[in-house]
Structure formats: C-alpha cells, structure tokens
Amino acid sequence: MTTAAIIGGGVIGGGWAARFLLNGWDVRVFDPDPEAERKIGEVLDNARRSMPGLSDVALPEEGRLSFHESLAEVVEGAVWIQESVPERLELKQKVYEGLQAHCDAGAIIGSSTSGFKPSELQEQAPRPEQIVVTHPFNPVYLMPLVELVPTAQNTADLVARAKEILTGLGMFPLHVRKEIDAHIADRFLEAVWREALWLVKDGIATTEEIDEAIRMGFGIRWAQMGLFDTYRVAGGEAGMKHFMAQFGPALEWPWTKLMDVPEFTDELVDLIAGQSDAQSGHMSIREMERIRDDNVVSMMRALKAQNFASGAVLNTHDAGLEAKAGMVKRAGDIVDPGQPIVTIRRAVPVDWLDYNGHMTESRYLHAFADATDRLMEIVGCDADYIATGGSFFTAETHIRHIDEAKLGERIEVRTRVLMGEGKKMHLWHEMYGGERLLATGEHILIHVSLETRRPAPFSAEIAENLAMIAGAQSGLPAPDGVGRYVGAPR
C-alpha cells in the first residue's frame, strides 16, 4: 500500500488526509495539537459522506490512518509528504529540515502554502530539489484544483511524478510555470476580497448581498467556463476582440479600489463579523460544510454529464478507478462467464436521494440503465459499433424495490444474460448493498438500425458474445422474480 505523510492536521491537512485515504493510500499524520485526531476525524466524516458521490465507480478500499508523535515515524516509507503547517516561513523551513533528516530522498514534499514561493521554501533545505508548492483549495477532498509550483531546482522527473500522483487522486494539477507570490488563483481571490471589504466599509452592500451577487451570477459562469471563456462568449460572434474593444475603456474608469486596502480597524472587523453572523449564524460550521459539500458534488456531477471543466477531471478519474478495480469491459476479459457479471460498483451520491433520505426510485432505473450500457459494451455494442448504425432500444423494464439504499452506500449490480438471439436481449440485474439485495431489474432490449429506427439483427460478434454468456449462465438457478408481473405476490 502506498503511504502519504501529512504534516499539520488542520482544515487543509485534514482534507489532504481524506483525499489520499479515500483513494486507497495509507496515511500517517503528525500534528502536536492534542485535538488533531478529533479534528481530522470530523473532516473524514464529511469526506466519507460526500467524496464517493463524485464518482460513478466505487473508490478503492480505504487506506489505514495512523497518528505519530515524531517526524521520523511519520515519514518512514512515505512516497508523498504534504506540509500544511501555519503560514510562517521560518516554521516551514524548520519543518523541512526535520523532514529531510528522516524521509526518503526520492519522496516528494509538497507545501500547501497559499502565498510563499517555492524558492523561499527551498532556501534553507538540505535537498531543495525535493520541495514543491502543491496549493489546494478547500475542501481538498472535493475541489480538483491544486497549483503545482516548482523551481529550476526541481527536476522534470519530479514534476512529472507529482502530476501523475495528483491526477491519480482525482485532482487537476495546474503547473504554474513561473513562481509568484500567492501563485495564480489566490491573486484573483485577493482582488475580489479587497473590493468586497470596500463595499461593506462604504455601506454599499452587506456580506449577504455580496455573496448573492456572486452565487446568483458570475460565480455560476466561472464554475464551468472561467474568466476568459466567459468573456469570449460575451463578445458574441465577434469574439474576444469585440469584447475587449467594447469593455476595455472601462479599465480607465474608477470602478474599483483594487490598489487600495481599507484600514483594518476593529470597527470594520465587527461590522463584517456582525453581518456574517446575521447572514449564517443560525447554522453550525459542520452544517455549512455539509451544505457546501452537497452543492459542490451536485454541480460537479452535472458537469460530468457534459464531460466539461471539473466534470472531465472526474470522468478521467473514474476511468482510472475502473482500470484499477479490473472492471470487465470486453467479453474476453470475463474470468468466469458462468457467474453474474459485475457491471456497476459505485456509491450513492447526494443527488440520488429523495425526501425520505434514501435513493429515489428513478435512480434505481438509472443504475440499472448504466449496468445495461456496460453489458452492451462488454458484448460489443460500444460507441464505435453504435457509430456504424446499430444499437439496442429498451422495450420493457420491470424493477422490484426490495430494500433501501442510503447516501454514500456502496452498491453493486450483478448482471445475467437470460437470452440473446436474433434481435432480442433479455437481461436480469440484481443490485446489492453488501450482501443485502436492494432491487432487481428485468429488461428486454431490441436491436435496431439507427437509420430505419426498426428492429434489425445484431452483428456476428454481438451474437457470439451473447450466446457465450447466456450459455455459460444457463446452469444457474432461475432468478427469483423473473417474469413477475406488477403486483404479483412475492
């Protein structure tokens, strides 16, 4: 099992611990705070609730988490060391000295710093080439962006390994090619933050009104297109040049105070804190974190369907998870065709729940439809085949809802081919949560020509694969409930 060492167990360190742990890494934590284990435990509770919902594939088995009292213990055998101690340069440099006295020379040391340049971090280090900035965003276990900032001291091999590991965790490593204070993203945040402070101080807007302006407007656009693509679209058919010509003169108008900072007085702090309390004081921080996580998961899952922005990162991660789990993709990969084929293995995400707090009925069909799609792919009806003009249409479906599936529960669909001849395919799906049978789905599909939209024989390859699986599974007992009509007694 691959090991990561987490140095500093605050909000960011805890998020890193969750990101590694839930991706199957063993995680060792060093933090002298006597409350560190409790704090990381609470972060992990949130991560276990929300992070699996980003994937349409089951995450690996969770790694082992341990807490250690010395740097020597925590870095032993670690491939990745993530430093998330307070933002004091002298402290960070002292920590690196201690880490490098004990860690493997080939380990990557990443810093979560939001402001320091990597050259500053490397100044006093025995092995500066080992240290890079890997600045994440909160919550680390959900947000894909991590700013990877190296220097000339870091080899191309180390940067490539860092990118590979971060990508394997489902993150998006943005290689910042030239170091600068606060890197890239935080410089934008600082600009917006300064302007927001002025708007509150000058009585133009409250904290709630500013938040509404962001989350009801440009925040949604930025979440999927960023800044420049958003403005390119705003330029219409004439594109970015037209937008720049139209709005460029506004740069000379005194619209913002980005070069000025309001005096940070007790009165300003009290004003902002009071407005923030009035805005959200009725909720605990843990409640706000869960709301935030549910919203992030739901938005990113919507982007998955479009394979766009952060959704494309999640789809890439899912493909990697499937490969590691050995999920069957072709008939030739089936180890034992005489047994039901595992076509789906995933967790129940937040957007699959209903008002009763369990998986809503339409999502049972969703899961079974995904299982059918996988079986189609296995027998040869994949995207390339469909592009030639042949596919399957569902003619009839019968689902039995037997037990509940709740948020975060890992479900597995096991599929049998009851018949596959001529133009028809008869499938039987069983959904399990552990060993509990949650639902069954019986489906009749007709192979069609997409040109005529009429039934048509399937290809020789599909016919051969369906016959092989159906024949191998024919010795299994008839499924309980097959052919059952709606309302029939169990």
Determine whether the annotation assigns residue 328 to a binding site.
no
Place of tokens 């169990």: 490
Confirm or deny that 8 is annotated as ligand binding. yes
Contact present, 22 and 16 (Cβ < 8 Å): no
271, exposed or middle or buried, with CB in 10 Å at 0-12, 13-18, 19+? Answer: middle
Residue 214, annotated as binding a ligand: no
CA contacts within 13 A on the Cβ side of 67: 15
For residue 111, give the DSSP letter: E
Phi and psi of 31, rounded to 5°?
Answer: -160, 120
Reference 331, options 369, 286, 382; nearest CA is: 382
Q: What is the C-alpha separation between 155 and 372, in angstroms, rounded? A: 46
β pairing state of 436-449 and 108-111: unpaired
**Residue-by-residue DSSP string for 8-69:** --SHHHHHHHHHHHTTT-EEEEE---TTHHHHHHHHHHHHHHHGGGG-SSPPPPP--EEEES
Residue 130 is given by DSSP the state G
Q: Is 333 exposed, middle or buried (0-12, 13-18, 19+ CB in 10 A)?
A: exposed
Distance CA 144, CA 121 (A): 24
d(CA 373, CA 318): 16
Tell me the β-bridge partners of 335: none
Distance between alpha carbon 131 and the CA centroid of its chain, in Å? 26
Token pair for residue 387? Answer: 């592009």
Q: Is 281 annotated as a binding residue?
A: no
Structure tokens at 451: 């040109």
Q: Which residues are annotated as a binding site?
A: 8-13
Q: Which residues are annotated as a binding site for NAD(+)?
A: 8-13
